[in-house]
Structure 1
Amino acid sequence: MKLLAFFFAVSWTVDVFAFTPLVSPLRLQSRQIRSPYVTMAAEKLETVSKKEFLAMLAEKSGKPKTEIEEVLNLALETIVDTVSSGKKASFVGFGSFEPRDRAARAGRNPKTGEVLQIAATKTVGFIASKNFKESVKSGGE
């Protein structure tokens, strides 16, 4: 994908013996290569805060906000504890939270271009259920 994007990002001239780029490949910066997926991530989404989320739950359930907040905090804490202990937390019809290992890899300092070694780490991953994906795809209808 990057090679293809590089090919279209660089203007080519015809030399008698070879094709040579007008822009050196070493000078082409990664931010000049745009993926079609970047525009989707760049759009600003409306965020529902925890306070607003609690108000929506309280309205739907008819329970007091304090009770809903207590249960939500307990549920989130339990998910964090479960995944932190190396287990998968799965909710049928919603999705699964699981611990993931991210391998060590080479990276670059964006200011200096210096190659750095990024250490291996653990992170959390979420896999949405089929129902969740379909709901998002259809716009929640």
Structure 2
Amino acid sequence: MATITKRELAESISQKLGSPQTSTKQIIQLFLDLCIEELAKGNRLEFRDFGILTTVERGARVGRNPKTGATVNVPSKRVVRFKSGRLLKEKAQKKV
């Protein structure tokens, strides 16, 4: 299984659209920046068939330091949650 970087994604999109790679990189970066802004505001991002990104509050809990075994209070925090969409689930299940 390979890791696809933002650069490789931009190259692929540029080739398919016949557009300059620099503008494609800017569009991808703008898209990611806007996604981050909206999630920071607490908004939900829904991409049909791909998935849903939301932020949820993870409550405070008592954890443990693995080195010393001492208990540690872990404060509550907001985390990003992703729920995959139908088409993404189906494609991920198929053998490549």
Output the TM-score relative to the length of structure 1: 0.64
Bigger Rg, structure 1 or 2: 1
Q: Which residue number corresponds to residue 42 of structure 2?
A: 86
Secondary structure of the corresponding residue to residue 81 of structure 2 = strand
- Unaligned runs of at least 5 residues, structure 2: none
Q: Which residue number corresponds to residue 31 of structure 2?
A: 75
Aligned positions of 1:1-141 closer than 5 A:
45-139=1-95
- Deviation >2 Å, runs of 4+: none
Measured on the aligned residues, the alpha-carbon RMSD in Å equals 1.2
C-alpha distance in 1 between matches for 2:85 and 2:58: 23
Q: How many residues align?
A: 96
Secondary structure of the corresponding residue to residue 113 of structure 1 = coil
> What are the superposed Cα offsets for residues 3-36 of structure 1, whole Å, 9 maximum, x if unpaired?
xxxxxxxxxxxxxxxxxxxxxxxxxxxxxxxxxx
C-alpha distance in 2 between matches for 1:86 and 1:77: 14
Taking every aligned residue pair, what percent have the same amino acid on both sides? 28
- Unaligned runs of at least 5 residues, structure 1: 1-44
Secondary structure of the corresponding residue to residue 62 of structure 2 = strand
Offset of residue 120 of structure 1:
0.4
Q: Which has the higher contact order (CA 8 A, sep 6+)?
A: 2
What amino acid is the match of 1:129?
A: G
The structure with the greater share of residues assigned to strand is: 2
C-alpha distance in 1 between matches for 2:95 and 2:82: 20
> What are the superposed Cα offsets for residues 15-65 of structure 1, whole Å, 9 maximum, x if unpaired?
xxxxxxxxxxxxxxxxxxxxxxxxxxxxxx421111111111111221110
